[in-house]
Structure 1
């Protein structure tokens, strides 16, 4: 990007919840937690959850595209340009596609999936999507985002990028803001159950063609060909939402991030637990979505809803025993049965391998292709040598060929129980059942099959070692 083409002021934080007094949570059935916006660079989720594309609908919805482009004011004169958009609510978007003649009435009604309560408001909705002009002038790519959603680009900032920026720039997966990308305050509206919510988000938006992770999806679902993809942009939500509250006198913290309130990731964890902000595998222990059930300080809650403007999170107190809730998270009992194959190709379950009652079970998810996994095998062998008579050791290989795995385990004298999951056919197996997404992942169960600890890599194996040593009263050499 050319120097001096724009100026940006980063807000350190709109609100910083940990400086506020935590909200007191009582035993009411429905509890509203007030959320504050933050732009602190100290909380992350997987980028795919917050990165969304702006793209042109010129090919797939030509009537709608033409009407949209003609309705905008302040469109600049460039060598070439395209109107690129990102839909934020499907209801009013589908209504406009129908009224432009790009989809039939039947298709419109089908895609509403029976949610007709807000259709009267869809006709007047104007700010249900984000729009931008993306174009080229000489050796530069020009980007203008209609940040205030008023249908006029003349009052918005013009950002200038080098023409090749779109094919080369890659955003760090562990940063929500950078000096090389414009940070823009965006305004839009969401209609829900007869009410219109005004939403304000801070977003990083930039040209992205060959590096756009959505290329395959856009080309197939929206007929975005290579030429049209040159105008595509990528958008990353920067600000997230925070709160703190107490249950049974103990403080808990909430962080919420996502581009859509319905699919946002909700992290609820005790204040006493800390971890590296890039340790997304460990963060899974505290990560939820709306309608998930969460155990918070030994009380059970339904994560009932999140308002479309991200200002309130609602929890519903449930009168059920925490041990009846099954999950892949720390503090929960695992849900049985969990499936995989033996190295000889016979279907098996985890329960069949837990042979020693009233003791711990250590599960190691690994693969012969995984260098960090193989580097930690000597540590597991040492643990097995010390505690093999007291603890169940189970290694589940996520790999291509069980014969290769079996040969490897024999060569390296891995004398404990083993299982196999085909990495090209993981559906219905222990891998998705326990939400294993990175390797090596270690899960330590107690005698009731409750997860004591889970995490990825050597750091978490060391923590598991310490738990085992404390349990069996041994001292690390």
Structure 2
């Protein structure tokens, strides 16, 4: 009898300790042409511009080698994809003096191991009504075997949104990067177009430099899929090389947004972020240097607090317009939904959306807490605006000079207005930015 009891205890003890071991996930990735996904432009676009101001002698050499006639008034724009290798070559060829090279803090022993820098050169010419660009996409230094692309002169002033750039022909964009003592070669598809006013260009009075401003936008991405407990997910990865990538992972029942990358931010991750897949939590461990494989690692985390759709929002501190501090969960526990509205009195789209927000609140006040959180310089200005516009719901304030501290930082608020809908369990149901977001939130509330 005693033996049976001991055996039974051992079975129970060891049985309790035995668990199904979760496996790491390795997913193959392939490059596909992008038709359906809006990516954050930090990852799919880069600036191209003339080197005539930084390296005038080298620029004149580029013009000479291009074999255009002098009366063609051609401007050459240059994209280099490895900053250190490019400046090392400029030093080697005598276009950069020793003192300036030393200031760059570039390790020559590493740069000498790399192959010759691949440059994407683009010739630009203006006529009375057109801007013509010719991209040397076969990297042979000869523009005569490349097709010109024509733009209206006003194109470079227009915003480079999905409508203005949709019919630009694809080019081949070949480049390499150097990581972990390894050269990785990439063959991509992209478009190139004029963009005078992109915010990333530095101010300049140099006319050639301003006329040379172009944007290259990747038109492919790495695609993959995975399955966890019969739940399927789609993967989209964008960027130029392994060290700077954005990873989008979503259930296959949902769609990526074609036009608004802030909506796709709900599915956006970086290397070492945690992600919940079918009630299991993984860490996005790594991506191979040639971006052919994504590896997700098992973790012991029980819950993820974050700012993405499906994650639990933390019990964050908020301060009302009188300076009194409270916490978010006080509101979320007493109604089915709580809507966080991030706005500012300086933000025209935010102010334009107020009539719709008022209408939304009057229809949904019984089931929805509405919390407007103003990111402003002066709380008195917010108080006056709220009173004048009869905004009869809860209002809070974050001082703009604090550079996005507190709830602004914790919820990764970068665009205004941003709307975040959470349920009574503090799960983020929806996150979006712009005028279309409120309509989608209305649909969610009506259908649940």
What TM-score range do you get, normalising by the shorter chain?
0.7 to 0.9
Of 29, 48, 59, 1:54 maps to 48
The residue matched to 1:126 in structure 2 has which SS?
Answer: coil
Q: Confirm or deny: 8 A CA contact 2:76 2:122 kept in the other structure.
A: yes
Of 152, 156, 169, 1:182 maps to 169
CA distance in 1, matches of 2:229, 2:332: 37
Of 190, 194, 197, 2:181 maps to 194
Aligned to 1:10: none
Larger Rg: 2
Query: Deviation of residue 37 (structure 1)?
Result: 2.4
Alignment of structure 1 residues 357-368 onto 2, 5 Å: 361-367=338-344
Aligned to 2:235: 254
CA distance in 2, matches of 1:151, 1:321: 53
Aligned to 1:270: 251
CA distance in 2, matches of 1:154, 1:56: 20
Where structure 1 has 5 or more consecutive residues not aligned to the other structure, the ranges are 1-25, 471-477
Query: Deviation of residue 173 (structure 1)?
Result: 3.3
Aligned to 2:161: 172
Aligned to 1:89: 82
- Name the CA shift for 1:266/1:218 in 2 (closer, same or farther; >3 Å): farther
Deviation per residue, 1:157-188 (Å, 9 max, x gap): 344556x356445433367631xx33212222
Query: Deviation of residue 326 (structure 1)?
Result: 2.6
Q: Confirm or deny: 8 A CA contact 2:342 2:419 kept in the other structure.
A: yes
Of 12, 15, 28, 1:34 maps to 28
The residue matched to 1:253 in structure 2 has which SS?
Answer: strand
Alignment of structure 1 residues 358-437 onto 2, 5 Å: 361-367=338-344, 369=348, 370-384=351-365, 386-387=366-367, 393-399=370-376, 401-410=378-387, 414=391, 416-423=393-400, 426-437=403-414
- Name the CA shift for 1:110/1:425 in 2 (closer, same or farther; >3 Å): same
Within the alignment, does 1:121 sit opposite 2:113 as a pair?
yes
- Name the CA shift for 1:55/1:447 in 2 (closer, same or farther; >3 Å): same
Query: Deviation of residue 54 (structure 1)?
Result: 1.5
The residue matched to 1:121 in structure 2 has which SS?
Answer: coil
Query: Deviation of residue 269 (structure 1)?
Result: 0.2
- Name the CA shift for 1:423/1:282 in 2 (closer, same or farther; >3 Å): same
TM-score (norm 1): 0.75
Q: Confirm or deny: 8 A CA contact 1:444 1:464 kept in the other structure.
A: no
The number of residue pairs the alignment matches comes to 420
CA distance in 2, matches of 1:461, 1:137: 48
Deviation per residue, 1:420-477 (Å, 9 max, x gap): 134565421322321234444332334553323333432232145247xx5xxxxxxx
Q: Confirm or deny: 8 A CA contact 1:50 1:236 kept in the other structure.
A: yes
Q: Confirm or deny: 8 A CA contact 1:165 1:207 kept in the other structure.
A: no
The residue matched to 1:131 in structure 2 has which SS?
Answer: strand
Q: Confirm or deny: 8 A CA contact 1:81 1:134 kept in the other structure.
A: yes
CA distance in 2, matches of 1:347, 1:121: 60
CA distance in 2, matches of 1:174, 1:141: 19
Runs of 4+, deviation exceeding 6 Å: none
CA distance in 1, matches of 2:46, 2:259: 21
Query: Deviation of residue 85 (structure 1)?
Result: 0.8
Deviation per residue, 1:330-388 (Å, 9 max, x gap): 222234545x54313x374644854857975442324455222332223224433x24x
Query: Deviation of residue 268 (structure 1)?
Result: 0.7
The residue matched to 1:205 in structure 2 has which SS?
Answer: strand
Q: Confirm or deny: 8 A CA contact 2:36 2:257 kept in the other structure.
A: no
TM-score (norm 2): 0.79
Deviation per residue, 1:212-240 (Å, 9 max, x gap): 4444x263xxxx71333213322222222
Alignment of structure 1 residues 14-413 onto 2, 5 Å: 27-29=22-24, 31-47=25-41, 49-66=43-60, 72=65, 74-75=67-68, 77-99=70-92, 100-102=94-96, 104=98, 111-112=105-106, 118-122=110-114, 124-127=115-118, 129-136=119-126, 141-161=131-151, 164-165=153-154, 167-173=156-162, 177-178=166-167, 181-209=168-196, 211-215=197-201, 217=202, 219=204, 225-274=206-255, 276-307=257-288, 309-310=290-291, 312-323=292-303, 325-335=304-314, 337-338=316-317, 341-344=319-322, 346=323, 348=325, 350-351=327-328, 354=331, 356=333, 361-367=338-344, 369=348, 370-384=351-365, 386-387=366-367, 393-399=370-376, 401-410=378-387
